[in-house]
Amino acid sequence: MDGDVLFALGLTLVAGLATGIGSLLAFFAKRTNTKFLSFTLGFSAGVMIYVSMVEIFFKARESLVGALGEQPGSWATVAGFFGGMIVIAIIDQLIPKQGNPHEVKKVEEMSTRTLPADNADLLKMGTFTALAIAIHNFPEGIATFTAALQDPGLGVAIAIAIAIHNIPEGVAISVPIYYATGDKKKAFKLSFLSGLAEPLGAIVAFLILMPFLNDVLFGIIFAGVAGIMIFISLDELLPAAKKYDETHLPIYGLMSGMAVMAISLLLVI
């Protein structure tokens, strides 16, 4: 296994384990910094949207046009882009509603509720949330891994954006499980395990996709990655950012994320 593959796998591991950071935040922070979370979620969305539409989509198109020709390659790029959106939308529809990973949680809820001795509904909700986030993390792992192999700088940017949005997801897992059991270790363990779906996606991509990776497959995967990240940004990140703070902070974060990504891409040209 060469250094590039190890680096790409390492990025997905770091991004995935950010759910564990969210879990620890829920246990040790006294208050949720809602303004900071709102800004950073908007920032993450800005990074994802900009890099998807300005960099990833066009790299996919370049690869597919080079392999298939102008017209077929352009159609294949568009099909891959919307195919990625459809895949993540179907995943969302298949996830039970009680495990909604988009539900905003705050660390204050740890101390403001009386913990029941055994609350099966809350435990079920927390477990479903962990499962839902694990399912979401799997294609994100493929996205980070594929991007990092093609362009390490791009992979780092995507990994940072995904790690930021994984932090509140760790809170979303920990809060209901801790309510239900009063067991911090169990809540952290489920949060940690859900994050491991990210590097698992990367390992599956390495074992299954790598042997067949050519310009056509790479282009379709990259186009799909762009669609997945746009969907996640619009369906998860921005709505969550607005729930944490209803002012203009999410948009300022969005603009900042786009600006940082734009400057980063210019610096590596």
Binding site for Zn(2+), by residue number, is 140, 165, 169
Q: Are 135 and 91 in contact (CB under 8 A)?
A: yes
Q: Are 11 and 166 in contact (CB under 8 A)?
A: no
The Cα–Cα gap between 51 and 233 comes to 12
Residue 89: closest CA among 236, 245, 195: 236
Per-residue DSSP letter, 69:
-
Which helix (H) or strand (E) segment holds residue 167: the answer is: helix 152-181
Binding positions for Fe(2+): 137, 140, 166, 169, 198
The Cα–Cα gap between 164 and 2 comes to 28
Q: Are 45 and 52 in contact (CB under 8 A)?
A: no
- The residue type found at 261 is M
Q: How far apart are the first and last CA of the chain?
A: 28
> Roughly what angle, to the nearest 10 degrees, separates helices 18-28 and 152-181?
40
Binding positions: 137, 140, 165-166, 169, 198
Tokens of 213: 């990776």
